[in-house]
Amino acid sequence: MVDALGNLVRFLLLPGQAHDMKGVAPLIRGVSFDALLADKAFDADWLIQDLDERGSTAVIPPKTNRKIQRDYDAEIYKWRHLVENYFAKIKEFRGIATRYDKTDCSYAANWNLVAALIASR
């Protein structure tokens, strides 16, 4: 999760075979925000309902297989490139991109280290 400036706010390690939707609820728990920008993979009714209850806007394009297509703000969605840019910055560090670390603990520690290095630039 990155903020509006493209800086890391929080990250969560999931098993490689798990879908990203499993990590959304613990990732956004306790974080306040006005809008959540995400790609089509995060188009789930429970997430959109949760965001509505929080008073946040869901800027998530609907999946093409939705029976009732819903609207989203395409102009705000263009700012989702900040997330992709952050991952590009992270991938500059080869150990993170190729996941050299053997344990989750050391991998998470390296993420924190790289996030601090990126923030200090």
Residue 55 binned pLDDT confidence (cut-offs 50, 70, 90): very high
According to the model, what pLDDT value does residue 4 have?
Answer: 85
Average pLDDT on 101-118 reads 90
**Is the pLDDT assigned to residue 48 strictly greater than 90?**
yes
Whether 100 and 70 share a structural domain: no
The domain of 23 spans 14-79
Question: Does the pTM of the predicted model rise above 0.95?
Answer: no
Whether 73 and 23 share a structural domain: yes
Whether 23 and 59 share a structural domain: yes
Whether 57 and 104 share a structural domain: no
Average pLDDT on 19-48 reads 90
Whether 50 and 96 share a structural domain: no
According to the model, what pLDDT value does residue 59 have?
Answer: 94
- Nearest residue to 95 via CA among 83, 106, 84: 106
Please report which helix (H) or strand (E) contains residue 36, including its range: strand 35-37
Q: Are 79 and 85 in contact (CB under 8 A)?
A: no
The number of domains in the chain is 2
According to the model, what pLDDT value does residue 23 have?
Answer: 86
Using a 10 angstrom Cβ sphere, with 0-12 exposed, 13-18 middle and 19 or more buried, the burial of residue 37 is buried
